[in-house]
Structure 1
C-alpha cells in the first residue's frame, strides 16, 4: 500500500514536470523570431524610429495590396503590420496602381511625408501626415508617361534641386535621371538622361540579351556623387551591389573598379541587392537590402542590413556586420 502511494506521487510529479516542460517549450516556440519577408527594402529614420518598407508582391500574404511597414527603435527588434490600414502604409485604391507595387522610397519634404513607388510598371507618388500612412494621392495617375519605368529614388542636392533616378525598361533595365519639378508632380522631361546600363562582366554573369542595372540610391560625399545600384536579374544568384561616381548629378558616371561591393561571396547567401542607404541614430552609414530566401530558392525574399562606409573616394562594405532582419 505504501509502495502504491509513493508510486502515485511519483507519477503525478512526472506528469507535472512534463506539463511544465511542454508549456515552456510551447512558450519558446511561440516567441520564436521569424525573418522579415520584404524585397527592395528601404528604411526611413524619423524622430527616433526606423520605418522599414519594401516590395510585398510574392513575399507576404498581402500580395499586391500595397506597402507594409515595420518599425524599430534599435534595428534589432522589429514590429510588423503597424501601417495605418491593416498593416499597410499605402493601400491599393488610395493612390495610383492596380498591381506590381514595388520599390518604395519614403522621404520628408516641407513637413510632409512622401512615398514614391512603382505600380503597373510606372512611377507614382503619394503623401501622408505620418510615416505609417495612410499614403494617398488625389491624382491616381503616374508622374509621367514615357514608357515603362520602375525603381524610383529622389535625391535632393545641396542647392535644393531635386532629381529622380529611376530605371527605364529599354533594351535592358537602364538607370536614368531627370530633374524633378519643385512641387514633385513630375519631371522636367527635357532633362532626362541615361546614367548607366549593364556593360561589365559582373553586371551580366549569365550573358543575357536584356542586361539589368537597377535599384539606384544616390548620395553626395566630399563634392562627389555616388550611385549605389544592383546588377543582374534578381533571380540570378549573382545579383549583387556595386557603385559609380560622378562630378555632376547627370554624370558622366564612372563605375568603380572594386564593384561588386556586396555579393553572395560576402554574405553567404544568393541574390544580394536592391536596397537603400540610411544612417542610424549614431550617424553610422548602413545599407538595407534583400536576399534570396535560401540558396535553393528565390522567393519569398528576406530583408537584411550591412554596414557600409567611405574609405577615401571608395565605398566599402563590412561583410561581418551583415544581419537578416527578424520580427
Structure 2
C-alpha cells in the first residue's frame, strides 16, 4: 500500500500544473508552515525555515505586508527544547510576554521572550508531555480556559485538542479528544493509508468556533485547506460542504496549505500559507497570503478565499 501511495504521489507531482507565478530563492522568504504576528504596526513572519529546519527559527519583518526584511534568528537550539525539525511556530502574547509554541524533534514545546524578535527561551528545556508524538501546536484562549490544538501521529496525522494549565507547561490529558482526521475525497486524493489533517488554526465568530486545517500529504499538489465548525472548543467538529476553501484550483499554485489567520492594518482577515516552490518541485516552499471573506448575508458561504488577493511575499535584503 505504501509503495502504491508513493507511486501515485510521484505521478501527481510530475503531472501537476505550473505555478501562476515563479520566484527564485532570495525573492521570497521561503517559509513553510508560516504564521504572521501583528504587533505595534509591524508584521512578524515566522515559519519552518526552508533553508534549514534544524537550526531553530528566524523571522522577517514588514510594515506593508508586501516587502519583508530578514530579522535574524529568534530561537536557537540550546536556548530551548529541540535539536532538529523546528517546525510550525505560533507566536502570541500572554501575561505581558511573547510566547512561541512550536514543534521540534516531533514534540511540542513553548518558549518565551520579552520581544517578538526573541530570543525565545525556556528555563527548563523540555517538551510538553503526551502519550504519542505531537506536532503543529495552536494555543487558543476562550472564556478563561486555554486550549492546545495539535496533531497526534497516531494512525495518521490527526488533529486533537486538550486543555492546558495556566503556566502553559502541560496539557490535561484527561480532556484530550480528537477533532478531525482525513476522510476519502479531497482530504486524501492519493488514497494513502496514512491520512493527514494538520496545521489547525482556531477562531471564534459569534457563537461558533471555526477551525482552518490542511489535508493531504504536504508533498501532494492537492494539499489544500478546509474549514470545520463547532459550538464548543472541544467539538464535535462539522466539516463544511464548501471544502476545500483554498486549493491549487483556486490559487493556481500546487500544495497551498498549513498557514495561520491574522488581521492586517485595515482590519481585513488574511491567511498566510505556503505553496510548493514550482509545478515540478516541492521544496523549498514559498510563502503567500490571501484574503478571507466572511458571509455578509444569510445563505452566503461560511467563509471563502478571494483568489484575486492571492500573492507571494517579497523578500528584500
User: Do Structure 1 and Structure 2 share a fold, with TM-score over 0.5?
Assistant: yes
Partner deviation per Cα, 1:15-56 (whole Å, 9 max, x = no partner): xxxxxxxxxxxxxxxxx9711101000000111100000001
Unaligned runs of 5+ in 2: 1-24
- Structure 2 Cα separation of the partners of residues 227 and 38 of structure 1: 22
| Matched residues, number | 287
Q: CA offset at residue 145 of structure 1?
A: 3.0
Partner deviation per Cα, 1:93-141 (whole Å, 9 max, x = no partner): 1000010000000000010000000000000000000000100001111
Q: Match for residue 17 of structure 1?
A: none
Indicate yes or no: 2:176 matched with 1:192: yes
Which secondary structure does the structure 2 equivalent of 1:199 belong to? Answer: coil
CA contact (8 A) 2:184 2:191 kept: no
Q: Match for residue 56 of structure 2?
A: 66
Q: Match for residue 67 of structure 2?
A: 77
Q: Match for residue 38 of structure 1?
A: 31
CA contact (8 A) 2:53 2:85 kept: no
Q: CA offset at residue 188 of structure 1?
A: 1.0
Q: Match for residue 311 of structure 2?
A: 323
Q: Match for residue 113 of structure 1?
A: 98
Matches within 5 A, 1:130-279: 130-157=115-142, 159-279=143-263
- Structure 2 Cα separation of the partners of residues 246 and 259 of structure 1: 16
Normalised by the size of structure 1, how large is the TM-score? 0.86
Between Structure 1 and Structure 2, whose CA radius of gyration is higher?
A: 1
- Structure 2 Cα separation of the partners of residues 283 and 138 of structure 1: 36
Aligned-residue CA RMSD in angstroms?
Answer: 1.2
Q: CA offset at residue 147 of structure 1?
A: 1.3
- Structure 2 Cα separation of the partners of residues 198 and 261 of structure 1: 16
Q: Match for residue 20 of structure 1?
A: none
- Which consecutive aligned stretches of 4+ in structure 1 deviate over 6 angstroms post-superposition? none
Unaligned runs of 5+ in 1: 1-31
Which secondary structure does the structure 1 equivalent of 2:242 belong to? Answer: coil
Larger helix percent: 1
